């Protein structure tokens, strides 16, 4: 599987949180050859089921990777000397320091290319010079007269970032929306891996919606699909200049397995044991409260779902130059695939009895 081509397709497709229909269609096309059933639920999550070979009723493992991305929204349409400009607000965790000069697409009545601009420093009043931009300083310029902008754009329209995926050195790449299209790619690798392996359990692969704003797709898909166990896959912080040594991990160093309140210890041990079988290097991350990922939404559904969490190390999170190593994507997909291939009818009993212990 060409991981770069896969990531390029995924990251360059717009999918703001709450406006995921375009990316959902792309993921559906990618997953269709590997799965037996596919639906889109009421909140926009894509759910694909790959049936296992065990006797019915078969247990189910849900894999959740959110497909939405951080984005912007039109807050106000303003005019100046006959030209139309857009004031904006955030959708998800946007750091305003990264916005000035970015290329964007405004999803109005039709898609419009635009830039995020502001007055240069020499044109600002003295008290504003050399100061960080605020939301009121920035505007989106689509290069159209006011009448045209008012006709094509409405308050509440989404704005996505326009940034191609680029190769760096080795297997590293940079671009926007690698949080969390890298994990969607890893689930795709997993499904491809299982294409040549027998597995007893049903696999429910979910590209969840609105993780960046409320974990919505995780809550609803876990409630509706009633899986017996689940794995959330997301990105984590990568090591880099100025980054803390705690809970940051080297790009290309292997998947990170999380330990914390959102993770069932038996699921963590199963992932660790599977990595040993594959002779795959993994790392342990920790969270002391909520993990900030779909793992929480999965874990608390219905009676509670034993949940594991895999993270792909990523630098410059929630920017337009997020960076990962493609080897971590491939390894994460293979790790999930091998785990699924070895699930049997006694696995849930072991979890319930607390038998996932060190020998």
Instruction: Respond yes or no on whether the N-terminal peptide bond of residue 57 is cis (omega within 30° of 0).
Output: yes
Write out the catalytic residue numbers. Answer: 211
Q: What pLDDT shows up at residue 357?
A: 55
Q: What pLDDT shows up at residue 358?
A: 53
Q: What pLDDT shows up at residue 125?
A: 86
Q: How far is CA 263 from CA 48, 210, 284, 288, in A?
A: 23, 21, 12, 11
Mean pLDDT for the stretch of residues 149-163: 97
Express each pLDDT in 254-283 by its tens digit. 999 999 999 999 999 999 999 999 999 999
Global pTM reads 0.95
3-state secondary structure labels for all residues of the chain? CCHHHHHHHHHCCCCECCCCHHHHHHHHHHHHHHCCEEEECCCCCEEEEECCCCCCCCCEEEEEEECCECEEEEEEEEEECCEEEEEEEEECCCCHHHCCCCEEEEECCCEEEEEEECCCHHHCCHHHCCCCCCHHHCEEEEEEEHHHHHHHCCCCCEEEECCCCEECCCCEEEECCHHHHHHHHHHHHHHHHHCCCCCCCEEEEEEECCHHHHCHHHHHHHHHHCCCEEEEEEEEEECCCCCCCCCCECCCCCCEEEECCCCCHHHHHHHHHHHHHCCCCCEEEECCCCCCCHHHHHHCCCCCCCEEEEEEEEECCCCCCEEEEHHHHHHHHHHHHHHHHCCCCCHHHHHHCCCCCCC
Q: In this model, does residue 355 exceed pLDDT 70?
A: no
The answer to whether the CB of 326 falls within 8 A of the CB of 172 is: yes
Express each pLDDT in 40-99 by its tens digit. 999 999 999 999 999 999 999 999 999 999 999 999 999 999 999 999 999 999 999 999
Q: What pLDDT shows up at residue 130?
A: 82
Top pLDDT among 62 and 356 is at 62
Can you list the domains of the chain with their CATH numbers? Answer: 3-69+176-352 (3.40.630.10), 71-161 (2.40.30.40)
Mean pLDDT for the stretch of residues 110-137: 89
Express each pLDDT in 159-200 by its tens digit. 999 999 999 999 999 999 999 999 999 999 999 999 989 999
Q: What pLDDT shows up at residue 142?
A: 98
């Amino acid at each position: 599987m060409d991981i770069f081509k896969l990531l390029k397709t995924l990251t360059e497709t717009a999918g703001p949180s709450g406006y995921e229909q375009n990316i959902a269609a792309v993921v559906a096309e990618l997953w269709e050859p590997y799965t037996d059933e596919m639906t889109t639920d009421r909140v926009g999550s894509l759910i694909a089921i790959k049936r296992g070979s065990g006797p019915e009723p078969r247990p189910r493992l849900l894999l959740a990777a959110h497909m939405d991305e951080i984005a912007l929204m039109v807050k106000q349409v303003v005019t100046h000397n006959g030209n139309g400009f857009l004031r904006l607000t955030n959708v998800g965790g946007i750091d305003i320091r990264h916005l000035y000069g970015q290329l964007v697409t405004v999803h109005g009545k039709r898609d419009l290319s635009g830039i995020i601009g502001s007055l240069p420093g020499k044109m600002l009043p003295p008290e504003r010079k050399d100061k960080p931009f605020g939301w009121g300083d920035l505007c989106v310029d689509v290069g159209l007269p006011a009448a045209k902008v008012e006709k094509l754009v409405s308050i509440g329209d989404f704005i996505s970032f326009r940034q191609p995926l680029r190769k760096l050195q080795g297997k590293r790449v940079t671009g926007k929306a690698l949080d969390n299209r890298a994990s969607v790619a890893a689930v795709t690798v997993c499904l491809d891996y299982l294409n040549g392996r027998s597995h007893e359990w049903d696999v429910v692969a979910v590209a969840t919606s609105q993780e960046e704003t409320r974990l919505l797709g995780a809550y609803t898909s876990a409630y509706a699909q009633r899986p017996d166990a689940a794995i959330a896959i997301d990105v984590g912080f990568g090591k880099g200049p100025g980054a803390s040594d705690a809970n940051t991990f080297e790009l290309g160093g292997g998947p990170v397995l999380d330990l914390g309140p959102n993770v069932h210890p038996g699921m963590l041990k199963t992932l660790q044991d599977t990595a040993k079988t594959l002779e795959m290097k993994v790392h342990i991350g920790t969270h002391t409260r909520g993990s900030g990922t779909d793992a929480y939404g999965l874990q608390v559904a219905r009676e509670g779902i034993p949940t594991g969490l895999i993270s792909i190390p990523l630098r410059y999170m929630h920017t337009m130059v997020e960076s990962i190593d493609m080897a971590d994507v491939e390894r994460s997909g293979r790790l999930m695939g091998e785990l699924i291939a070895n699930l049997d009818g006694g696995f849930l009993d072991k979890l319930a009895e607390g038998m996932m212990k060190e020998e």
